Amino acid sequence: MSPFELIAAYVSVFFMSWQPPWGRAGVAVSQATVRLSLAPNAAGPVVEEPALEKETRSKEDVDLPWQVVVHNDPVNLMTYVTMVFQRVFGYPREKAERHMLEVHHKGHSILWSGVRERAELYVQQLHGYLLLATLEKVN
Amino acid sequence: MEICRQKDELEISELDPFLAELLRQIPVSTNPEGAPTAEDRLFSPPAGTKEKEICAEWKLYVQPELRRLFRSATETVAADLEQLNGNEKPFANCTLRIPAKHADAWLNALNQARLVIVAKNNFTDGELCDHYRSPIGSRRDLSLFQVNFYGFLQEFILRELIGTRENPYD
C-alpha cells in the first residue's frame, strides 16, 4: 500500500465520522465542495467551509399541480365525449355529462388536477380517443 | 338501410350501393396525408407552446403509440368491410355485420375519418350543424353527408353497444 493510499483512507474515515450541524439538520451538503489539503508539511487535513448546493427548481415548480383540460371540438359527438370521460376518469355519468356540457358551452373544462405524470397519462388516453386535451400548470 | 343488434353483433342490412360505398371509404378517409391541418388535428399538441420539453417528448414517445392505435382500429374496420366485397351483384343491397368486440375500433376509425374530412374541407360550425343537406350537388356536399352519416353510425354504436341512453341531456 502506497503512502498516498494511506492518507486517502484516513481522510475517508475522518469524513465519515464528521458531520456539520447543518448537515444533520437536513440541508444538502455537497461533498464535491469539500477539498482536503494534502500538502507534505501540513499537520493534518484541513476542511474548508462546505458550500450548500443550490436547488435548480424552485419549491413552487416542485409542488405545482397540473391540470388536464379538454377543449371544445365541433366534430366529436356529445355522447362520445361523455363516454370517454366516464372511461378515462371513471366518473359517474352525471359528472361526465356536466364536464362535457362545460366543454360545449364554455369552450373547455378542467377534468382533473394533480401530479404531472398522471396528468400526462390522462392526456395520452384522451388523445387516443381523439379528444382535444392538454395538460397545464395550475396558476 | 336497417340497423339492429343481433346478440354479439351489430347488423346493418339493406345497405344500398351508395351507402355501402361510403362505408368502404372509411379506411381511406382516415388518411391525413397531404393535409397538414388533418394531421395536426389527429396529433394535436399535449400542452401549450411554452412547454417545449413536454411537446418534444410527446412527439418522440407518445405519437408513435397513437399512430399504432389509430392504424390498428382502421385495420379492424377494413377487415370487417371485406364482407361488402363478396357481393356478386354489384348493384344489389347488402348486409354488414360488426362484431360487438370491434365497437371501439369502429368508434375510433369513424372519428378519425370525420375529423380528417372536416379538417380537409375546413367545414364551418354552421355547415356541420346542417344535417339535412343533400349529398347530391358538389364534392363538398358529399363530404358533409359522409361526416353526418359516420356520425349517425357512431351514435348508433354508442347507443346499442356501449349502453348510452337515447337522449342523456333531457
| Nearest alpha-carbon partner for A84 in A99, A104, A74 | A99
Distance, CA of B144 to CA of B124 (rounded, Å): 11
Distance, CA of B28 to CA of A85 (rounded, Å): 28
Q: What is the pLDDT of residue A51?
A: 72
CB contact under 8 A, B69 and A128: yes
Residues B119-167 have pLDDT tens digits of 999 998 888 887 777 777 789 999 999 999 999 999 999 988 666 444 4
Q: What is the pLDDT of residue A50?
A: 72
DSSP, collapsed to helix, strand or coil, labels residue B136 as coil
**Residues of B whose CB is below 8 A from A93:** 168
Q: What is the pLDDT of residue A56?
A: 60
Interface membership of A123 toward B (CB under 8 Å):
yes
Q: What ipTM describes this predicted complex?
A: 0.89
| Residue owning grid cell 390522462 | A122
CA angle B101, A121, A132 (to 5 degrees): 80
Interface membership of B154 toward A (CB under 8 Å):
yes
Q: What is the pLDDT of residue A40?
A: 47
Interface membership of A102 toward B (CB under 8 Å):
no
User: Domain ranges in chain A?
Assistant: 1-54, 61-137
CATH number of A61-137: 3.30.1390.10
Interface membership of B69 toward A (CB under 8 Å):
yes
Residue ranges, chain B, pLDDT below 70 = 87-88, 90, 161-170
Q: What is the pLDDT of residue B126?
A: 84
Residue pLDDT tens, chain A, 139 long:
434 443 443 334 333 333 443 333 333 434 443 344 444 444 556 667 777 666 565 555 556 799 999 999 999 999 999 999 999 999 999 999 999 999 999 999 999 999 999 999 999 999 999 999 999 999 7
